[in-house]
Amino acid sequence: MTDSLLKNLSLKSLMGLLFMLSISCNEKPSNAKLSSLALSIPDIVAPADSMHAQKQTIISTPIQYDTTKKYIYLTFDDGPQHGTTACVETIKKEQVKASFFMIGNQINDVYLKKLVASIRNDYPQILLANHSFTHAGNKYIYFYHHPQMAFNDFIQAQETINIPFKIIRLPGNSAWIGANSIKTSPLVRPVCKMLDSAGYNVIGWDVEWSFNHKTANPIQTPETMLELVNHAFEKNYTHTKNHLVILSHDRMFRNANFTDSLQKFISLLKQNSNYVFETVDHYPNLKKPL
Ligand SMILES: [Zn+2]
């Protein structure tokens, strides 16, 4: 941690963090300790001004699926927030792939822009994707009943976060849009049709690692999560056979004991040689080019 970064952790940063912790798919964590955040974000040298130029260098190369394998897509929603850095460090330590769906209006100072830029530059190991600009203000019914407003919100996020590919996860709703398919609830169908026409893909989820809405701590143990994953593959309870998307949230793993839970879960999955970790740009049947 350099002096300059410490200076960047200004009152504005802390106010921003308070705000972003108030935005979630469900409820804000009540016991988040912001004071340790300064120690959890690594020193990142990539200047925020270089983000646009780097956009041109990120290209998704199609992969050949191995029919003997099963593909796992780890996804983390609602970042950047307290816990994002712990997740990134765990993924790198375990040498697996994962995707982060981020919220535009939470990236409100240079410090967080640098964190997001570093994640963007971690591709192809880590993919940065679109989770809207405002997270619907957590007023999902109103948001989705105003599809043009919702559409504009996603476009604003795409541009301000500098998302490399047209891949979105809807706030508070699991929906799927690919090259030739749309699977949504009636509530989100209007905005999904607009996103589809604009060339976007939408990724839902098959299995969620749930969290306590008061503490934000994970509910299931790593062993239980492994059973859920195995079961979903065995029973073909996935949107696409042999491809499974796991939803979790960065903040669940902000404390060391729960960071360990994430690491344990990943290590358990890795023990199955048939499981392959991928980023969501390699999910089957997305629009090309991304
Ligand atoms: Zn969310």
Average pLDDT for the chain: 86
Containing structural domain, residue 78 = 3-19+41-46+70-282
pLDDT at 213: 94
Distance 267 CA to ligand 1 centre (A): 25
For residue 131, is it within any domain? yes
d(CA 74, CA 195): 23
Bridge-based pairing of strands 176-177 and 182-183 is: antiparallel
Distance 216 CA to ligand 1 centre (A): 13
The mean per-residue pLDDT over the stretch 87-112 comes to: 97
The mean per-residue pLDDT over the stretch 266-271 comes to: 98
For residue 287, is it within any domain? no
The mean per-residue pLDDT over the stretch 206-225 comes to: 98
Whether the pLDDT of residue 8 is over 90: the answer is no
For residue 289, is it within any domain? no
- Please tell me the pTM assigned to this model: 0.83
Whether the pLDDT of residue 207 is over 50: the answer is yes
Distance 209 CA to ligand 1 centre (A): 13
Contact 92, 267 (CB under 8 A): no
Q: Between 7 and 182, whose confidence is greater? A: 182
The mean per-residue pLDDT over the stretch 136-155 comes to: 97
Whether the pLDDT of residue 233 is over 90: the answer is yes
For residue 55, is it within any domain? no
Whether the pLDDT of residue 61 is over 90: the answer is no
For residue 175, is it within any domain? yes
| Nearest residue to 188 (alpha-carbon basis) of 157, 152, 143, 139 | 143
Whether the pLDDT of residue 30 is over 90: the answer is no
pLDDT at 148: 98
pLDDT at 16: 42
| Nearest residue to 32 (alpha-carbon basis) of 81, 100, 101 | 81
For residue 33, is it within any domain? no
Distance 159 CA to ligand 1 centre (A): 18
Contact 52, 282 (CB under 8 A): no
Dihedral through CA 192, CA 194, CA 200, CA 205, nearest 10?
Answer: -10
Whether the pLDDT of residue 280 is over 80: the answer is yes
Total structural domains within the chain: 1
pLDDT at 57: 74
Q: Between 147 and 58, whose confidence is greater? A: 147
The mean per-residue pLDDT over the stretch 264-290 comes to: 97
Distance 25 CA to ligand 1 centre (A): 4
Distance 137 CA to ligand 1 centre (A): 10
| Nearest residue to 107 (alpha-carbon basis) of 150, 157, 32, 36 | 157
pLDDT at 3: 41
Task: Report the percentage of the chain scoring pLDDT > 90.
Answer: 78
pLDDT at 56: 52
CATH number of residue 105's parent domain: 3.20.20.370
Whether the pLDDT of residue 199 is over 60: the answer is yes
**Band of residue 62 on the pLDDT scale cut at 50, 70, 90:** confident
Whether the pLDDT of residue 128 is over 60: the answer is yes
For residue 290, is it within any domain? no
Distance 78 CA to ligand 1 centre (A): 5
For residue 210, is it within any domain? yes
| Nearest residue to 257 (alpha-carbon basis) of 73, 83, 29, 17 | 83
